[in-house]
Chain A
Amino acid sequence: MLGLNPADWQAIEVTLKLCLYTTIFLLLIATPLAWWLSGKTSSLRVAIQAIVALPLVLPPTVLGFYLLMAMGPRGLLGSSLESIGLTHLAFSFEGILVASVLYSLPFAVQPLLESFNNLGRRPVEVASALGAGPVDRFFTVILPLCKGGYVIAATLTFAHTLGEFGVILMLGGSIPGETKVLSVLIYDYAQSMNYDAAHRLSLILLVFSFLVLFTVYGFSRRFQVVRV
Protein backbone atom coordinates (compact mmCIF):
# COMPACT_ATOMS: atom_id res chain seq x y z
CA MET A 1 0.00 0.00 0.00
CA LEU A 2 1.23 3.48 -0.93
CA GLY A 3 4.47 1.87 -2.03
CA LEU A 4 5.80 1.78 1.53
CA ASN A 5 8.33 -0.81 2.67
CA PRO A 6 8.42 -2.53 6.08
CA ALA A 7 10.94 0.01 7.42
CA ASP A 8 8.51 2.79 6.54
CA TRP A 9 5.65 1.06 8.29
CA GLN A 10 7.83 0.46 11.31
CA ALA A 11 8.72 4.14 11.47
CA ILE A 12 5.06 5.10 11.08
CA GLU A 13 4.16 2.78 13.93
CA VAL A 14 6.87 4.20 16.21
CA THR A 15 5.83 7.72 15.29
CA LEU A 16 2.14 7.18 15.96
CA LYS A 17 2.89 5.39 19.21
CA LEU A 18 5.13 8.25 20.29
CA CYS A 19 2.51 10.86 19.34
CA LEU A 20 -0.25 9.00 21.14
CA TYR A 21 1.67 8.40 24.37
CA THR A 22 3.03 11.94 24.37
CA THR A 23 -0.48 13.33 23.98
CA ILE A 24 -1.91 11.19 26.78
CA PHE A 25 0.92 11.92 29.21
CA LEU A 26 0.95 15.61 28.36
CA LEU A 27 -2.76 16.09 28.92
CA LEU A 28 -2.39 14.41 32.31
CA ILE A 29 0.54 16.65 33.22
CA ALA A 30 -0.68 19.85 31.59
CA THR A 31 -4.10 19.83 33.25
CA PRO A 32 -2.95 20.46 36.83
CA LEU A 33 -0.05 22.61 35.63
CA ALA A 34 -2.23 24.88 33.50
CA TRP A 35 -4.81 25.02 36.26
CA TRP A 36 -2.21 26.16 38.72
CA LEU A 37 -0.82 28.67 36.23
CA SER A 38 -4.30 30.11 35.68
CA GLY A 39 -4.46 31.14 39.33
CA LYS A 40 -3.60 34.57 40.67
CA THR A 41 -0.44 35.98 39.20
CA SER A 42 2.70 35.63 41.27
CA SER A 43 6.34 35.83 40.28
CA LEU A 44 6.69 32.06 40.76
CA ARG A 45 3.87 31.47 38.29
CA VAL A 46 5.40 33.84 35.79
CA ALA A 47 8.72 32.02 36.11
CA ILE A 48 7.13 28.60 35.64
CA GLN A 49 5.15 29.88 32.69
CA ALA A 50 8.36 31.12 31.10
CA ILE A 51 10.01 27.74 31.67
CA VAL A 52 7.03 25.94 30.13
CA ALA A 53 7.28 28.16 27.06
CA LEU A 54 11.05 27.62 26.66
CA PRO A 55 10.76 24.82 24.08
CA LEU A 56 8.98 27.30 21.80
CA VAL A 57 12.08 29.43 21.48
CA LEU A 58 14.98 27.10 22.24
CA PRO A 59 16.56 25.19 19.40
CA PRO A 60 15.81 21.48 19.77
CA THR A 61 19.53 20.88 19.94
CA VAL A 62 19.70 22.60 23.34
CA LEU A 63 17.02 20.35 24.76
CA GLY A 64 18.48 17.32 23.00
CA PHE A 65 21.95 18.06 24.31
CA TYR A 66 20.88 18.51 27.93
CA LEU A 67 18.54 15.55 27.84
CA LEU A 68 21.29 13.31 26.49
CA MET A 69 23.51 14.52 29.29
CA ALA A 70 20.80 13.93 31.90
CA MET A 71 19.52 10.63 30.58
CA GLY A 72 22.86 9.00 29.80
CA PRO A 73 24.54 6.72 32.34
CA ARG A 74 26.56 9.64 33.67
CA GLY A 75 23.62 12.01 33.97
CA LEU A 76 21.53 12.55 37.08
CA LEU A 77 18.46 10.81 35.70
CA GLY A 78 20.35 8.06 33.91
CA SER A 79 22.62 7.23 36.83
CA SER A 80 19.79 7.11 39.35
CA LEU A 81 17.86 4.77 37.07
CA GLU A 82 20.95 2.59 36.74
CA SER A 83 21.48 2.55 40.50
CA ILE A 84 18.02 1.06 41.06
CA GLY A 85 18.76 -1.59 38.46
CA LEU A 86 17.05 -0.04 35.46
CA THR A 87 18.60 1.07 32.20
CA HIS A 88 19.34 4.67 31.42
CA LEU A 89 17.01 6.39 28.99
CA ALA A 90 19.35 7.47 26.19
CA PHE A 91 18.59 5.69 22.90
CA SER A 92 15.30 4.23 24.07
CA PHE A 93 11.65 4.78 23.28
CA GLU A 94 11.06 5.89 26.87
CA GLY A 95 13.84 8.44 26.43
CA ILE A 96 12.35 10.04 23.34
CA LEU A 97 8.94 9.91 25.01
CA VAL A 98 10.26 11.94 27.95
CA ALA A 99 11.89 14.33 25.48
CA SER A 100 8.69 14.69 23.46
CA VAL A 101 6.66 15.37 26.56
CA LEU A 102 9.04 18.16 27.55
CA TYR A 103 9.40 19.46 24.04
CA SER A 104 5.64 19.65 23.38
CA LEU A 105 4.77 20.92 26.86
CA PRO A 106 3.87 24.46 25.74
CA PHE A 107 1.60 23.09 23.03
CA ALA A 108 -0.52 21.36 25.65
CA VAL A 109 -0.25 23.94 28.41
CA GLN A 110 -0.96 27.11 26.42
CA PRO A 111 -4.38 26.14 25.00
CA LEU A 112 -5.46 24.72 28.35
CA LEU A 113 -4.21 27.79 30.16
CA GLU A 114 -6.13 30.05 27.85
CA SER A 115 -9.19 27.88 28.22
CA PHE A 116 -8.94 27.92 32.02
CA ASN A 117 -8.37 31.67 32.04
CA ASN A 118 -11.53 32.13 30.01
CA LEU A 119 -13.41 29.84 32.32
CA GLY A 120 -12.34 31.68 35.45
CA ARG A 121 -12.74 30.26 38.94
CA ARG A 122 -16.42 31.03 39.34
CA PRO A 123 -17.99 27.86 37.81
CA VAL A 124 -15.69 25.69 39.90
CA GLU A 125 -16.47 27.63 43.06
CA VAL A 126 -20.15 27.32 42.28
CA ALA A 127 -19.77 23.57 41.85
CA SER A 128 -17.87 23.13 45.10
CA ALA A 129 -20.48 25.09 47.00
CA LEU A 130 -23.02 22.73 45.47
CA GLY A 131 -21.15 19.82 47.01
CA ALA A 132 -18.97 18.63 44.12
CA GLY A 133 -15.50 17.37 45.05
CA PRO A 134 -12.38 18.00 42.90
CA VAL A 135 -12.73 14.99 40.56
CA ASP A 136 -16.46 15.53 40.21
CA ARG A 137 -15.81 19.19 39.38
CA PHE A 138 -13.24 18.29 36.76
CA PHE A 139 -15.53 15.93 34.89
CA THR A 140 -18.81 17.82 35.27
CA VAL A 141 -17.64 21.42 34.98
CA ILE A 142 -14.08 21.94 33.75
CA LEU A 143 -13.99 19.28 31.05
CA PRO A 144 -17.32 20.11 29.41
CA LEU A 145 -16.65 23.85 29.54
CA CYS A 146 -13.05 23.57 28.32
CA LYS A 147 -13.70 20.89 25.72
CA GLY A 148 -12.38 23.14 22.97
CA GLY A 149 -9.14 23.78 24.85
CA TYR A 150 -8.63 20.05 25.30
CA VAL A 151 -9.24 19.26 21.63
CA ILE A 152 -6.79 21.95 20.60
CA ALA A 153 -4.19 20.92 23.18
CA ALA A 154 -4.42 17.27 22.15
CA THR A 155 -4.22 17.88 18.42
CA LEU A 156 -1.42 20.42 18.67
CA THR A 157 0.59 18.10 20.89
CA PHE A 158 0.03 15.21 18.55
CA ALA A 159 0.94 17.26 15.49
CA HIS A 160 3.97 18.85 17.09
CA THR A 161 5.31 15.47 18.17
CA LEU A 162 4.76 14.26 14.63
CA GLY A 163 7.05 17.00 13.39
CA GLU A 164 9.73 16.50 16.00
CA PHE A 165 13.22 15.89 14.63
CA GLY A 166 16.17 17.54 16.28
CA VAL A 167 15.69 16.26 19.80
CA ILE A 168 14.96 12.71 18.68
CA LEU A 169 17.94 12.74 16.36
CA MET A 170 20.21 13.75 19.19
CA LEU A 171 19.13 11.28 21.79
CA GLY A 172 17.22 8.64 19.91
CA GLY A 173 20.05 6.95 18.04
CA SER A 174 17.79 6.11 15.07
CA ILE A 175 17.07 2.56 16.25
CA PRO A 176 14.57 0.97 13.86
CA GLY A 177 11.33 0.03 15.63
CA GLU A 178 12.40 1.85 18.78
CA THR A 179 13.46 5.42 18.16
CA LYS A 180 13.49 5.79 14.41
CA VAL A 181 10.55 8.06 13.72
CA LEU A 182 9.26 9.27 10.36
CA SER A 183 11.12 12.56 10.36
CA VAL A 184 14.45 10.82 11.00
CA LEU A 185 13.72 8.17 8.37
CA ILE A 186 12.94 10.88 5.83
CA TYR A 187 16.19 12.62 6.73
CA ASP A 188 18.13 9.39 6.21
CA TYR A 189 16.42 8.77 2.89
CA ALA A 190 17.30 12.27 1.76
CA GLN A 191 20.88 11.85 2.97
CA SER A 192 21.30 8.62 1.07
CA MET A 193 19.77 10.27 -1.97
CA ASN A 194 16.79 7.95 -1.96
CA TYR A 195 14.58 10.83 -2.98
CA ASP A 196 11.61 8.73 -4.06
CA ALA A 197 11.22 7.19 -0.64
CA ALA A 198 11.81 10.54 1.06
CA HIS A 199 9.20 12.10 -1.15
CA ARG A 200 6.57 9.44 -0.43
CA LEU A 201 6.88 9.75 3.33
CA SER A 202 7.14 13.53 3.25
CA LEU A 203 3.94 13.78 1.28
CA ILE A 204 2.12 11.52 3.72
CA LEU A 205 3.35 13.60 6.64
CA LEU A 206 2.41 16.80 4.86
CA VAL A 207 -1.15 15.73 4.13
CA PHE A 208 -1.66 14.29 7.59
CA SER A 209 -0.32 17.41 9.32
CA PHE A 210 -2.54 19.60 7.17
CA LEU A 211 -5.59 17.59 8.14
CA VAL A 212 -4.70 17.84 11.82
CA LEU A 213 -4.26 21.61 11.68
CA PHE A 214 -7.38 21.99 9.58
CA THR A 215 -9.30 20.20 12.32
CA VAL A 216 -7.77 22.39 15.03
CA TYR A 217 -8.55 25.67 13.31
CA GLY A 218 -12.02 24.52 12.34
CA PHE A 219 -12.67 23.50 15.89
CA SER A 220 -11.26 26.62 17.48
CA ARG A 221 -13.50 28.77 15.30
CA ARG A 222 -16.58 26.76 16.18
CA PHE A 223 -15.56 26.82 19.80
CA GLN A 224 -15.45 30.61 19.90
CA VAL A 225 -18.86 30.90 18.30
CA VAL A 226 -20.42 28.53 20.77
CA ARG A 227 -18.97 30.15 23.85
CA VAL A 228 -21.50 32.37 25.62
Chain B
Amino acid sequence: MSLRIRAQLQRGAFNLLIDTALPTDGVTALFGRSGCGKTTLLRIIAGLERVRDAHVEFGDLCWQQDSHFVPTSARRIGLVFQEHSLLPHLSVKENLLYGYNRTPAELRRLHLEEVMQMLAIDSLQQQRIDQLSGGERQRISLGRALLTSPQLLLLDEPLSALDTQTKREIMPFLSRLALQAQVPIILITHSPDEVQRLANHVAFMAAGQITTVETLEQALARPDTPLFQDEGAAAILAGQLGPANEHGLRAFGSDQSRLWLQSPGNVTELPECGQSIRVRILARDVSVALDDPQRISMQNHLFVTIEHMHTIADQRVVLSLRLADGQLLLSEITNWSARRLELSPGQQVYALIKSVALIS
Protein backbone atom coordinates (compact mmCIF):
# COMPACT_ATOMS: atom_id res chain seq x y z
CA MET B 1 0.00 0.00 0.00
CA SER B 2 1.21 3.48 -0.69
CA LEU B 3 0.21 7.10 -0.90
CA ARG B 4 0.33 8.31 -4.48
CA ILE B 5 0.49 12.05 -5.13
CA ARG B 6 0.73 13.96 -8.36
CA ALA B 7 0.52 17.72 -8.11
CA GLN B 8 1.79 20.82 -9.73
CA LEU B 9 1.56 24.28 -8.26
CA GLN B 10 3.08 27.61 -9.22
CA ARG B 11 3.04 30.31 -6.59
CA GLY B 12 5.24 33.28 -7.39
CA ALA B 13 8.77 31.99 -7.64
CA PHE B 14 7.86 28.77 -5.86
CA ASN B 15 7.13 25.79 -8.04
CA LEU B 16 5.85 22.53 -6.61
CA LEU B 17 6.20 19.52 -8.85
CA ILE B 18 5.35 16.20 -7.25
CA ASP B 19 4.81 12.79 -8.77
CA THR B 20 5.58 10.21 -6.18
CA ALA B 21 4.46 7.28 -4.12
CA LEU B 22 5.20 7.44 -0.41
CA PRO B 23 5.44 4.16 1.52
CA THR B 24 2.76 3.79 4.17
CA ASP B 25 4.19 1.13 6.43
CA GLY B 26 5.56 2.64 9.59
CA VAL B 27 6.90 6.14 9.68
CA THR B 28 7.83 7.94 6.48
CA ALA B 29 9.76 11.12 7.09
CA LEU B 30 9.35 13.96 4.64
CA PHE B 31 12.69 15.64 5.06
CA GLY B 32 13.81 18.99 3.72
CA ARG B 33 14.72 22.55 4.55
CA SER B 34 12.00 25.01 5.48
CA GLY B 35 10.42 26.53 2.37
CA CYS B 36 11.00 23.45 0.22
CA GLY B 37 7.26 22.75 0.01
CA LYS B 38 6.85 20.03 2.65
CA THR B 39 3.91 21.68 4.35
CA THR B 40 2.19 22.46 1.05
CA LEU B 41 2.52 18.81 0.09
CA LEU B 42 1.10 17.74 3.42
CA ARG B 43 -1.84 20.12 2.99
CA ILE B 44 -2.54 18.63 -0.43
CA ILE B 45 -2.51 15.15 1.09
CA ALA B 46 -4.83 16.29 3.88
CA GLY B 47 -7.18 18.04 1.48
CA LEU B 48 -6.66 21.41 3.17
CA GLU B 49 -5.26 22.76 -0.06
CA ARG B 50 -7.20 22.02 -3.20
CA VAL B 51 -4.75 22.26 -6.04
CA ARG B 52 -6.22 22.02 -9.49
CA ASP B 53 -5.47 18.81 -11.43
CA ALA B 54 -3.82 17.21 -8.44
CA HIS B 55 -4.19 13.50 -7.93
CA VAL B 56 -4.10 11.95 -4.47
CA GLU B 57 -4.64 8.28 -3.87
CA PHE B 58 -4.31 6.52 -0.56
CA GLY B 59 -4.15 2.75 -1.05
CA ASP B 60 -7.21 2.02 -3.14
CA LEU B 61 -9.01 5.15 -1.96
CA CYS B 62 -9.03 8.02 -4.41
CA TRP B 63 -9.00 11.30 -2.49
CA GLN B 64 -8.62 13.67 -5.38
CA GLN B 65 -8.82 13.25 -9.12
CA ASP B 66 -10.26 15.68 -11.65
CA SER B 67 -13.46 17.00 -10.12
CA HIS B 68 -13.60 14.27 -7.50
CA PHE B 69 -12.48 15.68 -4.17
CA VAL B 70 -12.91 14.11 -0.75
CA PRO B 71 -13.00 16.88 1.87
CA THR B 72 -10.57 16.71 4.78
CA SER B 73 -13.38 15.81 7.16
CA ALA B 74 -14.11 12.63 5.20
CA ARG B 75 -10.51 11.45 4.68
CA ARG B 76 -10.15 10.02 8.18
CA ILE B 77 -6.69 11.38 8.73
CA GLY B 78 -5.07 12.50 11.93
CA LEU B 79 -3.34 15.85 11.76
CA VAL B 80 -0.91 17.28 14.25
CA PHE B 81 0.46 20.73 13.59
CA GLN B 82 3.66 22.41 14.57
CA GLU B 83 2.25 24.85 17.09
CA HIS B 84 -0.44 24.10 19.60
CA SER B 85 -3.78 23.80 17.91
CA LEU B 86 -6.11 22.77 20.68
CA LEU B 87 -9.55 24.32 20.49
CA PRO B 88 -9.33 26.98 23.18
CA HIS B 89 -13.04 27.02 24.06
CA LEU B 90 -13.06 23.33 24.91
CA SER B 91 -11.60 21.48 27.91
CA VAL B 92 -8.83 18.92 27.55
CA LYS B 93 -11.34 16.10 27.58
CA GLU B 94 -13.65 17.81 25.09
CA ASN B 95 -10.67 18.34 22.81
CA LEU B 96 -9.71 14.69 23.05
CA LEU B 97 -13.25 13.56 22.30
CA TYR B 98 -14.03 16.09 19.54
CA GLY B 99 -12.88 13.76 16.79
CA TYR B 100 -13.73 10.56 18.67
CA ASN B 101 -17.39 11.57 18.87
CA ARG B 102 -17.40 12.24 15.14
CA THR B 103 -15.94 8.85 14.30
CA PRO B 104 -18.54 6.16 13.60
CA ALA B 105 -18.56 3.68 16.49
CA GLU B 106 -17.69 0.71 14.27
CA LEU B 107 -14.53 2.45 13.03
CA ARG B 108 -13.17 3.29 16.47
CA ARG B 109 -10.07 1.26 17.26
CA LEU B 110 -8.57 3.39 20.00
CA HIS B 111 -10.39 4.62 23.07
CA LEU B 112 -9.93 7.41 25.54
CA GLU B 113 -8.44 5.39 28.38
CA GLU B 114 -5.71 3.65 26.42
CA VAL B 115 -4.74 6.77 24.49
CA MET B 116 -4.53 8.82 27.67
CA GLN B 117 -2.37 6.13 29.15
CA MET B 118 -0.16 5.83 26.10
CA LEU B 119 0.52 9.56 26.12
CA ALA B 120 0.42 10.00 29.92
CA ILE B 121 -2.23 12.67 29.80
CA ASP B 122 -4.85 11.25 32.14
CA SER B 123 -3.81 13.67 34.86
CA LEU B 124 -4.40 16.66 32.59
CA GLN B 125 -8.08 16.01 31.95
CA GLN B 126 -9.38 18.68 34.27
CA GLN B 127 -6.85 21.36 33.36
CA ARG B 128 -7.59 24.43 31.34
CA ILE B 129 -5.98 24.61 27.92
CA ASP B 130 -4.08 27.80 28.73
CA GLN B 131 -2.51 26.19 31.79
CA LEU B 132 -0.82 23.45 29.79
CA SER B 133 2.82 23.40 28.80
CA GLY B 134 3.82 23.19 25.14
CA GLY B 135 4.72 19.54 25.46
CA GLU B 136 1.42 18.69 27.14
CA ARG B 137 -0.49 20.46 24.41
CA GLN B 138 1.32 18.49 21.73
CA ARG B 139 0.63 15.23 23.53
CA ILE B 140 -3.06 16.08 23.71
CA SER B 141 -3.04 17.04 20.02
CA LEU B 142 -1.53 13.67 19.27
CA GLY B 143 -4.07 11.90 21.44
CA ARG B 144 -6.93 13.78 19.87
CA ALA B 145 -5.75 12.80 16.40
CA LEU B 146 -5.31 9.18 17.45
CA LEU B 147 -8.80 9.02 18.92
CA THR B 148 -10.31 9.49 15.47
CA SER B 149 -8.73 6.09 14.65
CA PRO B 150 -7.21 7.60 11.52
CA GLN B 151 -6.11 5.64 8.47
CA LEU B 152 -3.12 7.93 8.16
CA LEU B 153 -1.41 10.20 10.63
CA LEU B 154 0.14 13.40 9.30
CA LEU B 155 2.55 15.12 11.63
CA ASP B 156 3.72 18.57 10.54
CA GLU B 157 6.92 19.24 12.47
CA PRO B 158 5.19 18.34 15.72
CA LEU B 159 8.33 18.93 17.78
CA SER B 160 9.89 21.96 16.18
CA ALA B 161 8.10 24.52 18.34
CA LEU B 162 9.25 22.80 21.53
CA ASP B 163 12.42 23.35 23.52
CA THR B 164 15.06 20.63 23.68
CA GLN B 165 13.97 19.38 27.08
CA THR B 166 10.32 19.05 26.02
CA LYS B 167 11.34 17.41 22.77
CA ARG B 168 13.22 14.79 24.72
CA GLU B 169 10.08 14.21 26.79
CA ILE B 170 7.82 13.71 23.82
CA MET B 171 10.12 11.68 21.63
CA PRO B 172 9.48 8.40 23.46
CA PHE B 173 5.74 8.90 23.06
CA LEU B 174 6.14 9.40 19.35
CA SER B 175 8.27 6.30 18.88
CA ARG B 176 5.87 4.27 21.00
CA LEU B 177 3.05 5.62 18.85
CA ALA B 178 4.78 4.50 15.69
CA LEU B 179 5.06 1.02 17.11
CA GLN B 180 1.76 0.63 18.92
CA ALA B 181 -0.82 2.63 17.04
CA GLN B 182 -0.53 0.58 13.88
CA VAL B 183 -1.20 3.69 11.79
CA PRO B 184 0.98 4.76 8.89
CA ILE B 185 2.60 8.05 9.75
CA ILE B 186 3.93 10.81 7.52
CA LEU B 187 6.28 12.95 9.55
CA ILE B 188 7.37 16.29 8.23
CA THR B 189 10.66 17.38 9.67
CA HIS B 190 13.85 19.26 9.00
CA SER B 191 15.67 17.57 11.84
CA PRO B 192 18.00 14.63 10.97
CA ASP B 193 17.79 13.59 14.59
CA GLU B 194 14.03 13.05 14.38
CA VAL B 195 14.42 11.07 11.17
CA GLN B 196 17.10 8.85 12.69
CA ARG B 197 15.02 8.25 15.77
CA LEU B 198 11.60 7.72 14.23
CA ALA B 199 11.58 7.03 10.53
CA ASN B 200 11.48 3.79 8.59
CA HIS B 201 11.51 5.55 5.25
CA VAL B 202 12.74 8.95 4.17
CA ALA B 203 11.52 11.12 1.32
CA PHE B 204 14.01 13.89 0.62
CA MET B 205 12.49 17.07 -0.60
CA ALA B 206 14.17 20.14 -2.07
CA ALA B 207 12.88 23.13 -4.04
CA GLY B 208 9.36 21.81 -4.46
CA GLN B 209 10.37 18.34 -5.60
CA ILE B 210 10.89 14.98 -3.99
CA THR B 211 14.38 13.88 -4.97
CA THR B 212 14.66 10.44 -3.38
CA VAL B 213 12.45 8.03 -1.46
CA GLU B 214 14.38 5.30 0.34
CA THR B 215 14.53 3.30 3.53
CA LEU B 216 16.33 4.77 6.50
CA GLU B 217 19.07 2.12 6.12
CA GLN B 218 19.60 3.05 2.49
CA ALA B 219 19.74 6.71 3.37
CA LEU B 220 22.22 6.16 6.18
CA ALA B 221 24.46 4.05 3.99
CA ARG B 222 25.22 7.09 1.86
CA PRO B 223 27.90 9.12 3.61
CA ASP B 224 26.70 12.21 1.70
CA THR B 225 23.10 11.92 2.84
CA PRO B 226 21.56 15.19 4.08
CA LEU B 227 20.72 13.37 7.28
CA PHE B 228 24.35 13.81 8.32
CA GLN B 229 24.35 17.56 7.95
CA ASP B 230 24.04 18.27 11.68
CA GLU B 231 26.27 15.91 13.61
CA GLY B 232 28.22 14.25 10.85
CA ALA B 233 27.91 10.65 9.71
CA ALA B 234 26.26 8.24 12.11
CA ALA B 235 24.94 4.70 12.13
CA ILE B 236 21.61 3.69 13.55
CA LEU B 237 21.52 0.17 14.90
CA ALA B 238 18.32 -1.58 15.74
CA GLY B 239 18.19 -4.45 18.14
CA GLN B 240 16.81 -5.88 21.31
CA LEU B 241 17.84 -4.97 24.78
CA GLY B 242 19.17 -7.79 26.90
CA PRO B 243 19.51 -8.18 30.66
CA ALA B 244 22.03 -6.30 32.75
CA ASN B 245 25.35 -7.92 33.66
CA GLU B 246 26.93 -7.82 37.09
CA HIS B 247 28.35 -4.34 36.39
CA GLY B 248 24.98 -2.91 35.55
CA LEU B 249 25.68 -2.84 31.81
CA ARG B 250 22.92 -3.93 29.44
CA ALA B 251 23.52 -6.13 26.45
CA PHE B 252 22.26 -4.87 23.08
CA GLY B 253 21.99 -6.59 19.71
CA SER B 254 22.71 -10.11 18.57
CA ASP B 255 25.41 -12.40 19.91
CA GLN B 256 27.78 -11.80 16.96
CA SER B 257 27.69 -8.04 17.40
CA ARG B 258 27.00 -7.48 21.04
CA LEU B 259 27.26 -3.99 22.51
CA TRP B 260 27.23 -3.08 26.18
CA LEU B 261 25.15 -0.08 27.12
CA GLN B 262 25.45 1.89 30.26
CA SER B 263 22.24 2.75 32.10
CA PRO B 264 22.08 6.49 31.83
CA GLY B 265 19.97 6.74 34.95
CA ASN B 266 19.13 10.35 34.35
CA VAL B 267 17.07 11.22 31.28
CA THR B 268 15.00 8.16 30.63
CA GLU B 269 15.27 4.81 32.19
CA LEU B 270 16.29 2.06 29.88
CA PRO B 271 13.37 0.10 28.50
CA GLU B 272 12.58 -3.39 29.64
CA CYS B 273 14.35 -6.53 28.53
CA GLY B 274 13.47 -7.82 25.09
CA GLN B 275 12.27 -4.50 23.80
CA SER B 276 13.32 -3.29 20.35
CA ILE B 277 15.32 -0.11 20.49
CA ARG B 278 17.50 2.05 18.31
CA VAL B 279 20.93 3.31 19.14
CA ARG B 280 22.98 5.89 17.33
CA ILE B 281 26.71 5.68 16.94
CA LEU B 282 28.43 8.72 15.47
CA ALA B 283 31.11 7.92 12.92
CA ARG B 284 33.65 10.07 14.68
CA ASP B 285 33.13 8.03 17.85
CA VAL B 286 34.25 4.88 16.03
CA SER B 287 37.94 4.09 15.57
CA VAL B 288 39.37 1.07 13.78
CA ALA B 289 42.21 -1.21 14.78
CA LEU B 290 43.86 -4.02 12.84
CA ASP B 291 44.04 -6.24 15.97
CA ASP B 292 41.64 -6.55 18.84
CA PRO B 293 43.15 -4.34 21.53
CA GLN B 294 42.74 -5.78 25.01
CA ARG B 295 44.32 -3.22 27.27
CA ILE B 296 42.04 -0.31 26.43
CA SER B 297 39.23 1.49 28.29
CA MET B 298 36.67 1.22 25.50
CA GLN B 299 34.40 -1.77 26.11
CA ASN B 300 32.72 -2.15 22.79
CA HIS B 301 34.88 -3.80 20.13
CA LEU B 302 33.24 -5.36 17.11
CA PHE B 303 34.73 -7.45 14.36
CA VAL B 304 33.68 -5.86 11.06
CA THR B 305 34.34 -5.86 7.33
CA ILE B 306 35.19 -2.70 5.43
CA GLU B 307 32.68 -2.29 2.60
CA HIS B 308 33.35 1.16 1.26
CA MET B 309 35.77 3.95 1.78
CA HIS B 310 34.40 7.35 1.06
CA THR B 311 36.62 10.40 1.07
CA ILE B 312 34.92 13.49 2.44
CA ALA B 313 36.17 17.02 3.00
CA ASP B 314 39.17 17.96 5.18
CA GLN B 315 41.31 14.95 4.33
CA ARG B 316 38.93 12.60 6.08
CA VAL B 317 37.51 9.22 5.16
CA VAL B 318 34.25 7.61 6.15
CA LEU B 319 34.42 3.84 6.32
CA SER B 320 31.30 1.73 5.91
CA LEU B 321 31.72 -1.26 8.16
CA ARG B 322 29.49 -4.31 7.87
CA LEU B 323 28.66 -5.97 11.20
CA ALA B 324 28.34 -9.68 11.61
CA ASP B 325 24.54 -9.34 11.87
CA GLY B 326 24.40 -7.43 8.58
CA GLN B 327 23.88 -3.93 9.98
CA LEU B 328 26.11 -1.07 8.96
CA LEU B 329 28.45 0.94 11.18
CA LEU B 330 30.30 4.07 10.07
CA SER B 331 33.70 5.26 11.13
CA GLU B 332 35.24 8.60 10.36
CA ILE B 333 39.03 8.72 10.38
CA THR B 334 41.72 10.82 8.76
CA ASN B 335 43.02 10.05 5.33
CA TRP B 336 46.43 9.72 6.80
CA SER B 337 45.33 7.02 9.29
CA ALA B 338 43.64 5.09 6.48
CA ARG B 339 46.83 5.12 4.47
CA ARG B 340 49.02 4.30 7.45
CA LEU B 341 46.90 1.22 8.24
CA GLU B 342 46.70 0.41 4.53
CA LEU B 343 42.94 -0.03 4.76
CA SER B 344 41.02 -1.25 1.75
CA PRO B 345 37.50 -2.58 1.05
CA GLY B 346 37.02 -6.22 1.98
CA GLN B 347 39.50 -6.00 4.82
CA GLN B 348 38.45 -7.21 8.27
CA VAL B 349 39.15 -4.88 11.19
CA TYR B 350 38.06 -4.16 14.73
CA ALA B 351 35.72 -1.23 15.28
CA LEU B 352 36.26 0.46 18.62
CA ILE B 353 33.16 2.30 19.79
CA LYS B 354 33.58 5.19 22.17
CA SER B 355 30.00 6.10 22.78
CA VAL B 356 26.54 4.77 22.05
CA ALA B 357 23.39 6.86 22.33
CA LEU B 358 20.08 5.22 22.89
CA ILE B 359 17.64 7.18 20.73
CA SER B 360 14.43 5.24 20.92
Contacts and interface: CB of A to CB of B under 8 A. Distances in A.
A–B contact, 8 Å CB criterion (strictly below): yes
Interface in A18-60: none
Majority DSSP secondary structure for residues of B touching A: mixed
Nearest to B147: A130
Given A122-B81, A123-B85, A131 B148 contact: yes
Nearest to A227: B88
A228 B87 CA distance: 11
B89 interface: yes
Contacts of B72: 125, 128-129
Contact of A133 (B73, B99, B144): B73
A116 to B, nearest CB: 15
B293 interface: no
B73 A132 contact: yes
Interface in A106-136: 122-123, 125-133, 136
Nearest to A137: B73
Q: What's the interface size class on A, roughly?
A: 10 to 19
Nearest to B72: A128
A130 B88 contact: no
A141 B46 CA distance: 19
Nearest to A123: B87
Nearest to B107: A131
Nearest to B73: A128
Contact of B145 (A122, A129, A145): A129
Contacts of B73: 127-133
Interface in B114-139: 129-130
B192 interface: no
Interface in B265-299: none
A6 interface: no
Contact of B79 (A126, A136, A140, A145): A126
B102 interface: yes
B88 A126 contact: no
A127 B87 contact: yes
Interface residues of B, number: 24
Contacts of A129: 46, 48, 72-73, 77-79, 99, 145, 148
A122 B85 contact: yes
B263 interface: no
B48 A125 contact: yes
B103 interface: yes
B69 to A, nearest CB: 13
Nearest to A125: B48
Q: Which of B48, B73, B74, B145 has the most CB of A within 10 A?
A: B73
B76 interface: yes
B71 interface: yes
A131 B102 contact: yes
A144 interface: yes
B228 interface: no
Contacts of A145: 87-89
Given A125-B79, A126-B87, A145-B88, A131 B103 contact: yes
A91 to B, nearest CB: 46
B98 interface: yes
Contact of A130 (B71, B89, B98, B129): B98
Q: Which of B99, B129, B130 has the most CB of A within 10 A?
A: B99
B79 A131 contact: no
Given A122-B85, A228-B130, A130 B99 contact: yes
A133 B72 CA distance: 9
Nearest to B48: A125
B87 A141 contact: yes
Nearest to B89: A144
B131 to A, nearest CB: 10
A137 B48 CA distance: 14
Nearest to B81: A122
A139 to B, nearest CB: 12
Given A128-B71, A132-B102, A228 B88 contact: yes
8 contacts: A123-B85, A123-B88, A125-B72, A130-B145, A131-B73, A132-B98, A133-B71, A145-B88
Interface of A: 122-123, 125-133, 136, 140-141, 144-145, 228
